[in-house]
Chain A
Amino acid sequence: MKSSWKTFKAHPMSLVFFILVCAGVILTVGILFLVVAFVLIRGVPYLTPDLFALEYTSENCSMLPAIVSTIEMVGISLLVAVPLGVFCAIYLVEYAGKGNKLVKLIRVTTETLSGIPSIVYGLFGMLLFVRALGWGYSLLAGSFTVAIMILPLIIRSTEEALKAVDDSYREGSFGLGAGKLRTVFVIVLPSAMNGILAGIILAIGRVIGETAALMYTAGTVAAYPKSVFDSSRTLSLHMYSLSREGMHMNEAAATGVVLLIVVFLLNSFASFVAKKLKSKT
């Protein structure tokens, strides 16, 4: 810092730049801090045991059913999207040749899909799953809709993870007479697991945070879904419903705290898994 004063005198522009950089950092951290602080201050005082009552009533506004259906929603959508996305990425990276037309098509499709606003997915899900397939507003329709929504993310992150695997591993495996299938599943996939998991966790975050696409497909019933064909609302949608009704702003804020904690835990878990895997290899 001492020498930098001299630099600043000689080059006044660099001082301006330095201030801009500092301002950027302070603003970013500050805003983040403000958001978290606001949610906590506004919500923590209303985190009553009532909010975690076993059954939802319009008095207690329990979020337990919403937590359960969030978990189910995440589970089903991953069950659909992860195998599909991972296999698709394996095909793209390991099997398809360069300049393959299908690869280009899939790439354009996934890029386009990832740019579409989620409410459009919601509309699509409603037309296909809710109406055409007759699943009604349901956990299943919602899960399939968000599964399609997170598919590009999973394909993309798996693709990147596979590409990052050193080619010398593949060569080593082929050199021992192993075929493509064995090489991909025994050597390449485990090495790419880190990146794939990171993508999956990002995807979980998107499912948990999704509201627009689910309003049209999963509906907003606040009870536990008895089957996958029952309507049920996730935590985010629960929070949205509470605040939209205008009478439960405090409960909505408390739900916000829980969402924040869930996301925080998820991220910590992600970096924990990443570290675990790294130290193992």
Chain B
Amino acid sequence: MTPLVEMHNISLRFGGNQALDNVSVNLYPGEVVGLLGHNGAGKSTLIKVLSGAYRADSGQIRVNGQEVQIRTPQDAQAQGIETIYQTLALADNLDAVANVFLGREKVRGVMLDEDIMELEARKTLDRLRVKIPSLRLPVAQMSGGQRQTVAIGRAIYFKARCLIMDEPTAALGPEETQKVHQLIKALKAEGVGIFLISHDLHDVFDLADRITVMKNGRLVGTVYTQDVTHDDVLGMIIGGVMPKNVRPADQPAPRA
């Protein structure tokens, strides 16, 4: 089976700081890969290379086995890669509709087609079942959960093949987090591949088929969730050591 996305030997340096050092990960259709590591491990930087926000110094990206150049966010979007950034990347002064469609507005001629965008945004956000009374208020006036919902809506509206979620539930309460879990499972069933970055081990064990751990810009390794315990994963995150006697996990998890 060819992976949906393969990042191979990606390196990236910020000044004197080697943020990524020969990192390789892959993702298959319909699976969730949990990306774990301490703050500053390089998780956000890695996925920003994939989403076109940063350019790697070296390394390759393949989509469906084809090598691709991802130079800009549009390049990533054209490959069906959508990202929910840790910072949400919302324009706080614009309303929910404008944010969902930012950079990809629907137009009639040169004129923005506000009605269509509002209808479609409403449909998409309803799917997440977080109450947003008015889509026409600046998102600055919304709660953390509502803002996160808008950021998620923005990513799922455009029918991603590969979805990157950088701490998608950080601002959510338990109930809203549950809804995001349901969404992830639904998207997975539709064959979307998902990179999930999270600090919550329970979340990751609940959702991820495989777990990739990074430390100090390097890859510690990738394991099948079913093969490891929380302590094994903590050992990878903190100590940077692979648990003993685990299978190599560069193929999708065998269905249980």
Question: Real complex partners, A and B?
Answer: no
